[in-house]
Amino acid sequence: MTAYLLNLATLATIFGILAASLNVLIGYAGIFSVAHAVFFGVGAYAGAQVALNLVPDVLLASLAGGLLSGLLSLCLALPALRVRGEYFVAASLGLQMLAVTVFSEAHSLTGGHGGLVGIPPASLLGIDVSSPWRFLAVCVGALTLSLVSIAILMRGGFGRGLMAIRDSESAAEALGKNVPALKTIAVAIGCSLAGVAGTLFAFQLAFINVESFTLEQSVLLMAMVIIGGAGTLLGPLVGTLLLLLLPAVLSFIPFIPATEIGTVQQLVYGLAMTLLMIFRPAGLAAPSTGRR
């Protein structure tokens, strides 16, 4: 039981980083990417390869995962500079589909459909951190660091620049904002963080394959951000907890037959999301709207 809870807590922490990183794009820069799982995946594969072939050091692997995701984020930044709104959503959808194909076919890098197995237990600067408690601590540390950095950046001029672009790109330009630069940097930050989350995920599961990096995952991440409250610091965490723990909680309800849990989950998810968007469109963590 403890093992189960520890695993759940670690996954929630990792998804917290993911949702917070997507929030930089969606909530602050207004870039509605449905390709975030791609960068989660890139980070996971890169981190896993470092662990498998070099050393299983979380810091080194995360650095590699974050860096590669940050570099490849240019694939997302490019369309973000050219198109907005629904057109960008379509472009990022294309990238997501492309990436899933690459993940499934590039056997030498990703292990293809079978994925990468036997990722060694994690260490951190020579210390073994592979026990569930220790690895949870590592993940909590990473989450805290991510949130603090995001908070600092978004409270400053950089964050205001992104939000200005989100609210009116042309007005931001007219006030001297270098929109392409701001967007590119925001995308790079968000995607690198997703890459770090990916590496942590690879260590936690010791096994990864393309199933975790599909469109469905991207949509779930987007739902976490929006339900929790896009553009708020803690909203994505609230959304993550809700959407990640919901299945867990449902599976403990005694009168649902085990075979039906999936269906019930989908129903509750769908209903909750629809109701939420009707009654709290700005998300759970957003301050309730009122004048002044």
CB of residue 240 to another protein, shortest distance in Å = 22
Least separation in angstroms between residue 81's CB and another protein is 12
Which of residues 30 and 115 has its CB atom nearest to another protein in the complex? 30
Closest CB 180 distance from another protein, rounded Å: 8
Please report, as ranges, the residues that interact with another protein according to CB under 8 A.
Answer: 153, 156-158, 160-161, 163-164, 166-168, 170-179, 181-182, 185, 231, 291-292
Q: How far apart are CA 115 and CA 112, in angstroms?
A: 5
Q: Which amino acid is present at 140? A: V
Shortest distance, position 155 Cβ to another protein, whole Å: 10
- Of 174 and 253, the one with the shorter C-beta distance to another protein is 174
Is the CB of 83 or the CB of 93 nearer to another protein?
Answer: 83
Residue placing its CB nearer to another protein in the complex, 168 or 274: 168
Instruction: Give whichever of 184 and 217 is closer to another protein, judged by the CB atom.
Output: 184
CB of 75 to another protein, least distance (A): 20
- Smaller CB separation from another protein, 94 or 156: 156
| CB-facing half-sphere around the CA of 198: CA atoms within 13 A | 38
Name the minimum Å distance from CB 164 to another protein: 5
d(CA 116, CA 157): 41
Identity of the residue, 76 or 220, whose beta carbon is nearer to another protein in the bound complex? 76
Q: Among residues 118 and 290, whose Cβ is nearest to another protein?
A: 290
Nearest distance, CB of residue 26 and another protein, angstroms? 13
CA distance 268 to 264: 6
Cα(261)–Cα(158) distance, integer angstroms:
44
Q: Smallest distance, Å, CB 112 to another protein?
A: 38
